Structure formats: C-alpha cells, structure tokens
Chain A
Amino acid sequence: MTQRHRLATGGHVDRARRLAFRFDGKSFEGHPGDTLASALLANGVRLVGRSFKYHRPRGIFSAGIEEPNALVELREGARREPNTRATVAELFDGLSATSQHRIGSLTFDWMSVNGLLAPWIGAGFYYKTFMWPAAFWERVYEPLIRRAAGLGRASGEPDPDHYGTMHAHCDVLVVGSGAAGLAAARAAGTSGARVILAEQDFLLGGDLLAEPGQEAWRAGMIAALAAMPDLRVLPRTTVFGFYDHGVLGAAERIADHLPEPPPHTPRQRFWTIRAKEVVLATGAHERLIAFPGNDRPGVMLAGAARTYARRHGVRAGETAALFATHDGAYDSVFALAEAGIRISAIVDPRTDSPAMQKARAAGFDVRAGSVVSGTAGRNALHTIEIRAADGRGRGSPCPADLLMISGGWNPAVHLASMSGAKLAWDEGLQAFLPGESAQRERSAGACRGVHGIGPAAADGAAAGRAAAKAAGFAPAAEFALPDAQAADHRPLPLYEVKGSKAFVDIQDDVTADDIRLAHREGFTHVEHAKRYTTHSMGTDQGKTGGIVGAAVLAEARGERLEQVGLPRFRPYAAPLTWGTMAGDAVGAHFQPTRRTALHAVHEAAGAVWMDAGIWKRPGWYPKDGDADLWASIKREARAVRERVGICDVSTLGKITVEGPDAATFLDRVYANTFSTLPIGRARYGLMLREDGLVFDDGTTSRVGPDRFFVTTTTAQAGPVMQHLEFHLATAWRELDVSLASVTDQWAAVAIAGPRARDVVGAIVEDLDVSNEAFPFMAVGECRVAGIPARLFRISFSGELAYEIAMPAGYAARVWQAAMAAGAPHGIEPYGLEALGLLRIEKGHVAGPELNGQTTAQDLGLGRMMKKKGAFIGRAMAQRPGLVDPARPRLVGLRSVDPARQFRPGAHLIARDRASGSDGRLSQGWVTSVTQSVVQPTGWIGLAMLREGEARIGTTMLAANPLMGEETEVRIVSPHMYDPENLRVRS
C-alpha cells in the first residue's frame, strides 16, 4: 500500500524503515515515529469509528490524549486492549487494530438509524425510557444498551503480561517536556537537584516537534539533560494524578510500543513519585467550536492538522479550511500550505487581526466576520457551509475535505486542580488558569496561559529555577532560550454556532441542544448537567469541549462562564489500565500468604489447603480409600470422637498482657471477669465492641500474678490487638500494662479425643497431667520432647483435649513426638473442616455466628456478662434493640431427612409459609452446616432464629431460593453433642 498522503520530507518519522500494520483487517504501512492515527491518515483513512450513541461516522479529531473519536481495539487475543486512542498508540511492525462502536461494517453501521431517531433520544433518554417494567431491566434493556453502546471489548482472557510498580523521590518533578518543561528541567537540573522529567509522548518536545525552526534548540536541550547525572527522563510516562503531600501517580508504558514485552520486562509500570517541588508544564488542549456537523470525519483541531503535517509528514486532507477565533491558530494554515495542501478558506468571526492581515497578504481567502454553519459529506467531509457571524444572509458552500477548527486553548490544569489549587478565570484567554498554589507546585507555559515557544520556554526556565531554589538548591548556569514571537492566543468568545447536531462532546454524542435540555429539566449546575447529559464523561474527559458545554449552560442560565465553572478535575487525568493499577498484586501475589510453623509437616501429610484470611490452613488430609472429601473429614472427626486427633491451631491470635494492672485491664476489655482467675487456670472470654455487639472470643490464661496469655480468633487477631492498644493508649492511660503480639512466636497444636491424655502424658515432662492434678481449664509450664512448652487443658471439639504451645521453631519436633506417641492409639491429624464439624456438633460459635451483628444473648452467652464492674460494650449492650427478646437466637438444626443437605445462608421459614410475628417470611438464617459423625448422624447446623428457644422441637424449612432448595429441618438445642459437658472433664 502506498502512503499517498505522506510528504516526501520533514518531520520526525524514519522514512527509511517501513512498519506493516492492519486496521479492520486491511493491510497498511507506516514508519517509525508514526502513531496509529498518523499512519492511518498517511494512507488516506479518514473514517475510524462510529459514535457512541448515534453511531455517526467519526474521523481522527486530534493528535493527542484528548482524542474523542479514534478509539480502537489494539492487538488481538489475550492482549486485545479496548478504547485505545489511535492518536497516542505508537506504531509498531505487525500492529493490528479494530474500530469500535459499530454493528456491521464501519462504512455502513446498522445502528446509525439512531441518528434519525435523534430528536427522541436526547439527553436523559435512557433514564426516561428504560424504566418500566422493572423486570425488563436485566433481561432486555441492559443487554440492549450494552450492545448498542458497546465500548471496546476486553479480551476476556487473562492478561499474559506483567506490570511493575516503582516508588521514586525527587527534589523537582517536571511534568511535560514541551518548551516550558525542557527549560524547567534544565534550569532545575543545573542546581544539582534530583530531577525527574516525565513526558507522556515517546518523543520529548511537545509542540517543539511541530516547529522545525526550533529543532536545534530541542536537540541541544535533550543533550544537556542527558548529561545531568541526577536528572532522570521518563518518556512514555503519563502523570495522571496529584495527591496529598507531594505524591503524584504516573503510568510508564514500557512495552506498549512493541508487539510483545521482551522477556522479564513489564508492559507498564505504576510510579508513585514523592516530589519536594513540582513544575507542571502540561501544555494545553485545543478547544473545539460547536457548530452543526462539527463531528464529521475531516473536521480536526487546527493544531492537530499542523502536527500531522510537521511532525509526521502527513497531509490530513487535500483541500483545507480553517475556522478559528484567534490568531494562534493561523500557523496551521501556513504549515499546511507548506505541505502542499490547498487552503480553500479561512473563516473567522472577527473583523480584523494581525494574523488575518498576514494571511490575506499571503493570498489566502479570509472570510472575516464569518462562521462555519454546516458540513456535508456522507462518511467524510467534502463541503463546508460559511455564513455571516451575525446569522444574516444565506450560507455559501466552500469545498474542504479537511476543516481545521480552533476556538481557543484549554490549559491542561488537571494536575494543578487536583493538587488543591483553585482555578482563576482569565477573560482574555477565555480560560481557567491555575490559581494560587495549595501544594508545592507551580505551572509553566501553556498550562497557565503562556503560549508560544519563546515565552513558554522563558516561563519554564523561571519555574525550574524557582522550584530548585524552593527545594534548597541554587540554580547555576544560564542557557539560551528560543527567541520566537508568539501569536495572540486570546479568542473571540464564540463557543457555538447554533443549529442541530452542534456537538459539545463528540465522544459522548452530547450536543449543545442536550445541554439546554438538561438546563430546562432542572439540571442547571455544571456537575448535574454533566451527569445528565454524559458531557465530559468519556475517555477524553471533556479536554476539548468541556468548557464549550459550560459556555452553553452559562448562556442558558443567563450567567457568565466563570460563574458556571467547570466540573471538578479528579484523577485520572488520562485513562489508565487496570493492569498498571494492579501491578504485580494479582493471582497468588494479590496478598501475602501466611504459613504456620507446621506448614511443611502438613504438606508432607498431603493436606488440602484452605484459605483462612491470608493464612494457609490444612482443610483435610485425604487418604487412600476416602471416597470423597466428606469421607476424609468424617474420618478425621471420628478419630477425635473415638480415639485421638491432632490439629494445628497456630493461627489463633496470641497476645501477652503483663503489668501490675493486667487483671484490671482484662476485666475492662472482657465482658466476663479475669481478676478472679487463679494462676495456672484458663477461662473462656468474650469481648464486646463499644456498641455492645460481640467482637471476639477466646481462651485467656493466667500464667503469673501479673501475666496473662490472651488468645483471639484467627480472623480478629489484628483487630483485637489494635483494640487493646487503642484503649490502653487513650482511655486508660493510668493502667500499667504492656502488650505484645506473640502469634508468630508461639506455635500451638490441639490434641483431642478420649485418648488425648495417653498421648499428652507420654510426651509431656515436668507436669502431672492426671485429671486430678491437671483438670479441665488447667494451664501449666512443662517440657515436651525436650522443648519448653505451655500446656492448656482446653477444648473446642467437646472432647478431652489439650493444647500445647511451643516456640514456633520447635513446632515440627513437638508434632512428630505427638504423632509417634499417638500411633498406638490411632492418632490422626485433622484439618479445618473436621475442626468445624466438631465445633458445630458441640454448638460452639465461630466466625459465621460472631458476624458483628450478634449480641452475647443472641449467642446464648448472655450469662457471661458480669453484673458488676465496667467493661467495653456494657452500656450499649442494654440498648432496647439489643435486648429485644424476639431477636434471632442461636439454635441447632437437624435435617428431618438426615441425608438431605441444607446450606449456610438459607433462610428459615415456616413450613406453611406463614409470616412470623414480625410480619416477615424469613425468620432467621443458617450460619454453619456440617454432617454429624455421632448418632443420630446426618446433616446438622447452627442458625440464628427469631424466638429461637420457643421454636425448639418444631420443624421449619431451610429455604435457599438461589439454589432452588428447600429442606425440612428440626429446630434443636445448639448443644447437639454431650450437652452435660462431661467429656471435656473426663
């Protein structure tokens, strides 16, 4: 394919090398230095997409991140990336892209019928129409809208690439490498400050890349920066957010310009940059003008056409016209004329200006006092309509396949605004500029309204020097600045030429009429009008037309534009991929993994792992002959009920509480009393939150007069520690107590079952473990397998049981000693599932019941709350809502047909589906379910049930509409196993 719109010379493309690429299945060629957009234009491709709502044909509109139209799906397969702007996608050999927003081919889109329906589908159409009937939403409306709106498709496959994260500190961060940014970086760099210069483009220079006359200066500046040892240049890096205390976020596209990332190279990298001082040299985005048909392919921002001509050596059209309201846009005419493009007309609503005179002198047809009032051409522009700016007279046609437009410039104040700086209105430039700094930042160049290479460079140099000085450095050498006069960029405030289909947001298909409709319907605030019309809500975030919509709204409100303002700027200043945000925290690396000291032991025993928070815990240990996982779980549970089992309980939180006031402290944090606990004894403790609901439970032991050993549930270990620290530091500073988390220092195993004493007795030294000497709830220091350890006679399973706590490093030795001593008794390791089975049989509560919504009474633990003395949660536990006798209470459940399963989360409803005394069908919910291994076997569970105690003995339905299941269950006492609690004392 020939690049028939490529100029023979000029620009920053390497014509000696050819890059093959495909767009919508067709093959093309471009050169290194091209973007996908410039390469498409070089090949004469004008139509690149369909619009979001009306499916109108759309062409390349800009040459940068502000692009509303040229969004493509880039690459194929798992690397397919939707909504990529062709104007910033760097061309590479083998690139493949597909246009979006079309049903059928790009040139004939079936949905373009929406354009004919446009009078009925204006702003708010979706809100107003797809409301009724409600049942239609999920099945009919949503799929319909999604199909029709259809932003690009994600690949649907796992991303094969990886993404990096980086933290950086610097004295001065310069954002943007146009004339201002280059000068700022060099000025700061000469002081010896550590400087980072971030540029979103793959080439440094910004608008200098379209200024051949300044190429020597640009090259000299880049060489000077490269020679500075403490200056780091980050090309292809978009600074997308300015956060508190000098923190900025940036995304570096390391390998997006390559077919695939090289080995061991991330595709993109997320930078967190902490800068002492920031210079924002982010430039400006050219402003569109709303006029009828301003979205037709061939209508392009004036500066973009100039960039394509001078930077990429591409003619964006054959016959061009300019529609502009200020002198700053006229350089585009000269740039295109130099490139051999015929200029058919210059349309300017002003009567006269220096640029207009210069253009006229150069022989161009300047139509002063005129506006463009329409465009024609089916899939691409071929004619514009010009009429008098005052609306009088008839329009006259003028040939143009390229219409350059410029309504002024929108300074890229996104980052300045995010830093907290207020924006200030500049009447001359008709623009919001950064106001007084809120953080240590300053703007330079076009982003604060200083236009032109020379003035911007001088402004940048001054900002760079000031930033270095503020960071504590003394700028040294001066350097030459370009001596270039700037045209006057102050526009005539003309935002709209009235008529139908005058778009203020080309990506979201929002017209000036839509803004007026929003105003009529009461959405008069700029933020409300934005959301009602979707104005500025696309990937371009209103960079070209945001202020145009605000101007239309201002006119409708009868107010000045500066009173209406712009919607708030928020991160991200440019679209960011999820992959970059996630970095390497995906899959197994999503969060850290915690392993107990016995991990390798369990692995050797063939454990199936389960996640308990970030802990890995053995779920069960399959054995040959186990038919399924339930066979393994029940086998392990039966070993505990009939013989003896061993379980790793190291994940429980462990906290030592020491000091003269330790007992007083525990009395205040637990609902029950610990000051009366004798040394060498343990007690079950219940902690409430300040609001009276149950926080956590666990066993706490007194190991000395002023020393306690607190255990928490696995899930709440961290929160309990914080809770204790916080109250000690803030509420009870008078207490002399120290806390230490020792969860990782102590490993622990439970040995449970009727033969537990035989096993424990065989391995414990220096301690009499007989029932008389070491009864239920006893605690003692001992040695186990030669290791100093602590023995607890406590039970979660409901059997005679011990827990041995030992230094984590010796856990495997203790485990192996127990396994050896237990072998004659048929000891089996049991996992989390059997542990759950045993505690459900016994009616012990755990996470599903301690869910942050239950009270001590709800759980049948109300009697534990001491009558005397203050403790956390006491006052609020007396709230009427928490002492209501009808609240759901803990009950046990048995499936009427023991073989019929029911599930946690099922609702409990009356068998005849009668509502309860509260008028509701659902009277409670199932919290925990298992299969009992003691008679009568079968499916059992725990539940929270309204008027639970009164319903014991009745039958209800455990209903799970999601699974389409209803199971008859008998309500029983939660203490389904050994209710007299004899076995733990045996």
Chain B
Amino acid sequence: MLIPCPHCGPRDEVEFTYRGDATVMRPGPEDGIEAWDDYLHVRRNPRGWTVEWWLHSAGCRAVLKVRRHTVSNAIDGVALAGQPLEADPV
C-alpha cells in the first residue's frame, strides 16, 4: 500500500503505524464505562470505505486520517488529524 502523506508524498505502508478506527469518538471523562467500552472494544467491520488513523512513524510523525477501502485497499483521501477529509478528486 502507498499512503499519500500530506507532508512527505506517497510512502510505503511500512513507514506507518496503524492507530485504529478514526470514525469512533473518544468519550468524555464522565461518560461512563459503557461508552468507554464501546469506544475501545466495539468496532464496525465494514466491507467498504472506512476512515482510519495512521501515524507516519518512520517519516514526519504526523497522525493522518486515511480513507481506505477494506476490500481493495484503495485510498481516496488523506488529511492531517484535525483537518477535514476531502475525497481525492481523481
């Protein structure tokens, strides 16, 4: 897989560390065990598009939000954490 890092350009997946599902929201401190259990342990396992966190651990060390297709591994959008993800126009 090649992940197009906004800082470094397209880089091989071996440079990155997967950091999990980016579609789940971290609960607040008072949200209770159920909410935390959902956040930590309950995952959709979609066949299709998903948004994930990838840390460019052997590169610029940015945390990236990556939209990836779980069947084809196609990537159609990458953004720095905190920035909106726009689908790649290509």
B26 partner, pick from A691, A725, A731, A874, beta carbons under 8 A: A731
Minimum CB–CB distance for B74 against chain A, Å: 8
Inter-subunit contact A733/B29 (CB<8 Å): no
Query: A726-B53, A726-B55 known; A733 and B82 CB under 8 Å?
Result: yes
Q: For residues 829 through 870 of chain A, which have their beta carbon under 8 Å from a beta carbon of chain B?
A: 870
The residues of B that contact A731 with a CB separation of less than 8 Å are 26
User: Given the complex of chains A and B, what is the CA–CA distance between A438 and B72 in angstroms?
Assistant: 8
Asked whether B31 is an interface residue with its Cβ less than 8 Å from the other chain, the reply is yes
Asked whether A899 is an interface residue with its Cβ less than 8 Å from the other chain, the reply is no
The residues of B that contact A730 with a CB separation of less than 8 Å are 22, 26, 53, 63, 81-82
Q: For residues 870 through 890 of chain A, which have their beta carbon under 8 Å from a beta carbon of chain B?
A: 870, 874-876, 878-879
The residues of B that contact A733 with a CB separation of less than 8 Å are 81-82
The residues of A that contact B17 with a CB separation of less than 8 Å are 722
A244 partner, pick from B29, B31, B55, B73, beta carbons under 8 A: B73
A875 partner, pick from B31, B57, B73, B81, beta carbons under 8 A: B31
Q: Mark A262-291, 1 if CB is under 8 A from B, else 0.
A: 000000000000000000000000000000
Inter-subunit contact A245/B73 (CB<8 Å): yes
Asked whether B9 is an interface residue with its Cβ less than 8 Å from the other chain, the reply is no
The residues of A that contact B61 with a CB separation of less than 8 Å are 725
Minimum CB–CB distance for B26 against chain A, Å: 5
Asked whether A420 is an interface residue with its Cβ less than 8 Å from the other chain, the reply is yes
Q: Mark B28-65, 1 if CB is under 8 A from A, else 0.
A: 11011100110110000000000001010100011100
Minimum CB–CB distance for A951 against chain B, Å: 30
User: Given the complex of chains A and B, what is the CA–CA distance between A733 and B2 in angstroms?
Assistant: 27
User: Given the complex of chains A and B, what is the CA–CA distance between A874 and B19 in angstroms?
Assistant: 21
Inter-subunit contact A725/B63 (CB<8 Å): yes
The residues of A that contact B26 with a CB separation of less than 8 Å are 730-731
Minimum CB–CB distance for B21 against chain A, Å: 11
Asked whether B1 is an interface residue with its Cβ less than 8 Å from the other chain, the reply is yes
Asked whether B27 is an interface residue with its Cβ less than 8 Å from the other chain, the reply is yes
A722 partner, pick from B27, B40, B57, B62, beta carbons under 8 A: B57
Inter-subunit contact A420/B63 (CB<8 Å): no
Minimum CB–CB distance for A101 against chain B, Å: 39
For residue B62, which residue of chain A has the nearest CB?
A: A729
Inter-subunit contact B29/A870 (CB<8 Å): yes
Asked whether A690 is an interface residue with its Cβ less than 8 Å from the other chain, the reply is yes
Query: A725-B63, A726-B63, A730-B63 known; A875 and B27 CB under 8 Å?
Result: yes
The residues of A that contact B62 with a CB separation of less than 8 Å are 729
For residue A730, which residue of chain B has the nearest CB?
A: B81
User: Given the complex of chains A and B, what is the CA–CA distance between A246 and B37 in angstroms?
Assistant: 38
User: Given the complex of chains A and B, what is the CA–CA distance between A247 and B29 in angstroms?
Assistant: 44
Query: A245-B1, A691-B40, A722-B17 known; A729 and B33 CB under 8 Å?
Result: no
Inter-subunit contact A876/B55 (CB<8 Å): no
Total count of chain A residues near the partner, CB < 8 A: 21
Minimum CB–CB distance for B15 against chain A, Å: 13
User: Given the complex of chains A and B, what is the CA–CA distance between A786 and B26 in angstroms?
Assistant: 49
For residue B39, which residue of chain A has the nearest CB?
A: A690
For residue B64, which residue of chain A has the nearest CB?
A: A729
Minimum CB–CB distance for A831 against chain B, Å: 31
Minimum CB–CB distance for B20 against chain A, Å: 9
Query: A245-B73, A875-B36 known; A722 and B29 CB under 8 Å?
Result: no
B2 partner, pick from A245, A691, A729, beta carbons under 8 A: A245
User: Given the complex of chains A and B, what is the CA–CA distance between A438 and B2 in angstroms?
Assistant: 16
Inter-subunit contact A244/B1 (CB<8 Å): yes
Minimum CB–CB distance for A719 against chain B, Å: 10
Minimum CB–CB distance for B80 against chain A, Å: 8
Residue among A247, A438, A875, A878 having the largest count of chain B Cβ atoms under 10 Å = A875
The residues of A that contact B19 with a CB separation of less than 8 Å are 722, 726
Inter-subunit contact B82/A878 (CB<8 Å): no
Minimum CB–CB distance for A257 against chain B, Å: 32
Minimum CB–CB distance for A470 against chain B, Å: 14
For residue A420, which residue of chain B has the nearest CB?
A: B72
B55 partner, pick from A245, A722, A874, beta carbons under 8 A: A722
Inter-subunit contact A879/B73 (CB<8 Å): no
The residues of A that contact B71 with a CB separation of less than 8 Å are 420
Q: For residues 716 through 775 of chain A, which have their beta carbon under 8 Å from a beta carbon of chain B?
A: 722, 725-726, 729-731, 733
Query: A726-B53, A730-B81 known; A878 and B1 CB under 8 Å?
Result: no
The residues of A that contact B72 with a CB separation of less than 8 Å are 244, 420, 438
For residue A272, which residue of chain B has the nearest CB?
A: B12
The residues of B that contact A876 with a CB separation of less than 8 Å are 33, 36-37, 40
User: Given the complex of chains A and B, what is the CA–CA distance between A245 and B74 in angstroms?
Assistant: 7
The residues of B that contact A438 with a CB separation of less than 8 Å are 72
User: Given the complex of chains A and B, what is the CA–CA distance between A733 and B73 in angstroms?
Assistant: 29
Inter-subunit contact B29/A879 (CB<8 Å): no
User: Given the complex of chains A and B, what is the CA–CA distance between A710 and B8 in angstroms?
Assistant: 28
User: Given the complex of chains A and B, what is the CA–CA distance between A733 and B62 in angstroms?
Assistant: 13
User: Given the complex of chains A and B, what is the CA–CA distance between A876 and B39 in angstroms?
Assistant: 11
The residues of A that contact B31 with a CB separation of less than 8 Å are 875
Query: A722-B57, A726-B63, A730-B26 known; A690 and B81 CB under 8 Å?
Result: no
Minimum CB–CB distance for A276 against chain B, Å: 12
User: Given the complex of chains A and B, what is the CA–CA distance between A420 and B70 in angstroms?
Assistant: 12
Minimum CB–CB distance for B79 against chain A, Å: 12
Query: A722-B17, A726-B63, A733-B82 known; A875 and B29 CB under 8 Å?
Result: yes
For residue B29, which residue of chain A has the nearest CB?
A: A870
The residues of B that contact A726 with a CB separation of less than 8 Å are 19, 53, 55, 63
Residue among A244, A247, A420 having the largest count of chain B Cβ atoms under 10 Å = A244
For residue A718, which residue of chain B has the nearest CB?
A: B57
Minimum CB–CB distance for A885 against chain B, Å: 18
For residue B57, which residue of chain A has the nearest CB?
A: A722
User: Given the complex of chains A and B, what is the CA–CA distance between A293 and B44 in angstroms?
Assistant: 52
The residues of A that contact B40 with a CB separation of less than 8 Å are 690-691, 876
User: Given the complex of chains A and B, what is the CA–CA distance between A247 and B2 in angstroms?
Assistant: 9
User: Given the complex of chains A and B, what is the CA–CA distance between A731 and B31 in angstroms?
Assistant: 15
Q: Mark B63-90, 1 if CB is under 8 A from A, else 0.
A: 1000000011100000001100000000
User: Given the complex of chains A and B, what is the CA–CA distance between A403 and B29 in angstroms?
Assistant: 77
For residue A719, which residue of chain B has the nearest CB?
A: B17
B33 partner, pick from A420, A722, A879, beta carbons under 8 A: A879
For residue A167, which residue of chain B has the nearest CB?
A: B12
User: Given the complex of chains A and B, what is the CA–CA distance between A691 and B36 in angstroms?
Assistant: 8
Inter-subunit contact B29/A725 (CB<8 Å): no
The residues of B that contact A879 with a CB separation of less than 8 Å are 33
Minimum CB–CB distance for A30 against chain B, Å: 44
Minimum CB–CB distance for B16 against chain A, Å: 11
The residues of A that contact B28 with a CB separation of less than 8 Å are 870
Residue among A245, A690, A691, A733 having the largest count of chain B Cβ atoms under 10 Å = A245
User: Given the complex of chains A and B, what is the CA–CA distance between A420 and B37 in angstroms?
Assistant: 35
B32 partner, pick from A246, A722, A870, A875, beta carbons under 8 A: A875
Minimum CB–CB distance for B86 against chain A, Å: 18
User: Given the complex of chains A and B, what is the CA–CA distance between A673 and B82 in angstroms?
Assistant: 27
User: Given the complex of chains A and B, what is the CA–CA distance between A870 and B32 in angstroms?
Assistant: 12
The residues of B that contact A420 with a CB separation of less than 8 Å are 71-72
The residues of B that contact A244 with a CB separation of less than 8 Å are 1, 72-73
User: Given the complex of chains A and B, what is the CA–CA distance between A870 and B31 in angstroms?
Assistant: 11
For residue B22, which residue of chain A has the nearest CB?
A: A730
Inter-subunit contact B63/A729 (CB<8 Å): yes
User: Given the complex of chains A and B, what is the CA–CA distance between A730 and B62 in angstroms?
Assistant: 11
The residues of A that contact B36 with a CB separation of less than 8 Å are 690, 875-876
User: Given the complex of chains A and B, what is the CA–CA distance between A12 and B27 in angstroms?
Assistant: 71
User: Given the complex of chains A and B, what is the CA–CA distance between A245 and B32 in angstroms?
Assistant: 42
Minimum CB–CB distance for A876 against chain B, Å: 5
Minimum CB–CB distance for B27 against chain A, Å: 7
Contacts from A to B (Cβ < 8 Å): 244-247, 420, 438, 690-691, 722, 725-726, 729-731, 733, 870, 874-876, 878-879
Interchain residue pairs with CB less than 8 A apart (6): A244-B73, A245-B1, A726-B55, A729-B63, A731-B26, A876-B37
Interchain residue pairs A-B with the least CB separation, the first 4? A870-B29, A729-B63, A244-B73, A729-B81
| Beyond A730-B22, A874-B29, A875-B33, 7 additional pairs, beta carbon < 8 A | A245-B73, A438-B72, A722-B57, A733-B81, A870-B28, A876-B37, A878-B33
